[in-house]
Amino acid sequence: MINRTKGDTEGAGLRIGIVRSRWNAEITEALLDGALRALAACSVREEDIVVMEVPGALEIPLAAQELATHGFDAIIAVGCVMKGDTAHFDHVGRIANDGIAQVARDYELPVTCSILTTYDLDQARARSGLDEANVGSQAALTAIETANLLRFLRSK
């Protein structure tokens, strides 16, 4: 018989770090709100959540790396990069995502990404609203589930 397992979304006892970019603040604040709503719904206590704010998406990986050294069970990256008139959008999104993935690998820790890369404000607003489509909320649920899965696997 094949053993199958997955994490659950019970967050009691988990310590969660969040790194939020202040660039495109309307969107990143909505993503942060979505993440915090999801964490609360999963019983993560407020005192077990730390939110660090950084200027932009490029600073997120370094802040996430610092959180990774302080015993968090998972980290959520929150940011928004919108397309402008230059290729800057492509580079910032790629560098930020590559850095987040590297932190996850280096620290063997769930680092979930809710950095939106959108072509315009309407797309960003659609992904940061009050419903299930809020990418911050989705990243929080993924962080909890993955942290619980890793705990389970590491206990065997």
Catalytic machinery residues: 88
Cα–Cα distance for residue pair 44/111, rounded to 1 Å:
17
- CA 126, 43, 52, 109 dihedral sign is negative
Smallest CA-to-CA distance from 16 within 58, 78, 84 is with 78
**Amino acid at site 14:** L
Closest of 135, 126, 133, 137 to residue 40, by C-alpha = 137
Amino acid in the structure at residue 74: A
Give which of 54, 49, 14, 1 is closest to 148, Cα–Cα. 14
